């Protein structure tokens, strides 16, 4: 018998797979990998030629703790994962978005709810000399998405 939690993960995996394919991504789903194989797959993805790609996306559906995500047999540090895709390691993704989505808890602490500001109350200022940047940090262009806030 399949647990309710397993059915939810299967549903989420199917939805991510379907939506990313609709967006034009090449999708390679993996299920229940141990740490060694997970890191091998990530290393292969980082070493692939992404010259013709507009961006890179990676989704984790798992459990987690603060700065780690769980593989089948061990925890994996998120910094260890993203380090593979930094500009000094993955040249074909320099200047391209690297999107990491972690559908994983980050502890069992709940966050407080707050009311947002109305749009007319927000202040925005444009950086005038932003175009004068000639180099990119190796860790640039990462978008890290978590299902819960840190804490």
| CA dihedral angle for residue 151, residue 141, residue 57, residue 50, rounded to 10 degrees | -150
DSSP secondary structure, 15-43, as one string: HHHHHHHHTT-------S--HHHHHHHHH
In the annotation, is 63 catalytic?
yes
Provide the pLDDT for residue 43.
Answer: 98
Using alpha carbons, select from 103, 33, 140 the residue that is nearest to residue 44: 33
In the annotation, is 105 catalytic?
yes
Lowest-confidence region among 18-32, 81-95, 116-130, 137-151: 116-130
Query: What percent of the chain has pLDDT above 70?
Result: 78
Provide the pLDDT for residue 64.
Answer: 84
The answer to whether residue 21 scores a pLDDT higher than 70 is yes
User: One of 17, 26, 90, 105 is an active-site residue; which one?
Assistant: 105
Q: Cα–chain-centroid distance for residue 52?
A: 20
Pairing of strands 142-146, 56-61: unpaired
User: One of 63, 72, 145, 147 is an active-site residue; which one?
Assistant: 63
The answer to whether residue 36 scores a pLDDT higher than 90 is yes
* Residue, of 33 and 131, whose pLDDT is higher: 33
* Residue, of 135 and 19, whose pLDDT is higher: 19
pLDDT digits 0-9 by tens, 67-121: 899 999 999 999 999 999 999 999 999 999 999 999 877 655 555 556 666 655 6
Provide the pLDDT for residue 111.
Answer: 54
Provide the pLDDT for residue 82.
Answer: 97
Q: pTM score > 0.85 for this model?
A: no
C-alpha count within 13 angstroms, C-beta hemisphere, residue 150: 5
Provide the pLDDT for residue 128.
Answer: 55
């Amino acid at each position: 018998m399949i647990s309710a939690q397993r059915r939810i993960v299967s549903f989420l995996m199917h939805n991510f797979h379907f939506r990313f394919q609709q967006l034009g991504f090449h999708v390679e789903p993996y299920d229940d990998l141990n740490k060694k194989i997970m890191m091998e797959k990530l290393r292969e993805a980082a070493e692939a030629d992404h010259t013709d790609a507009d961006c890179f996306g990676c989704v984790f559906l798992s459990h987690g703790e603060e700065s780690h995500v769980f593989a089948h047999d061990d925890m994996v540090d998120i910094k260890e994962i993203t380090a593979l895709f930094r500009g000094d390691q993955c040249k074909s993704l320099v200047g391209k978005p690297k999107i990491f989505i972690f559908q994983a808890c980050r502890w069992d602490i709940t966050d407080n709810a707050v009311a947002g500001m109305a749009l007319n109350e927000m202040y925005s200022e444009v950086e005038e000399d932003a175009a004068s940047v000639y180099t990119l940090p190796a860790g640039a262009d990462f978008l890290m998405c978590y299902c819960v806030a840190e804490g």
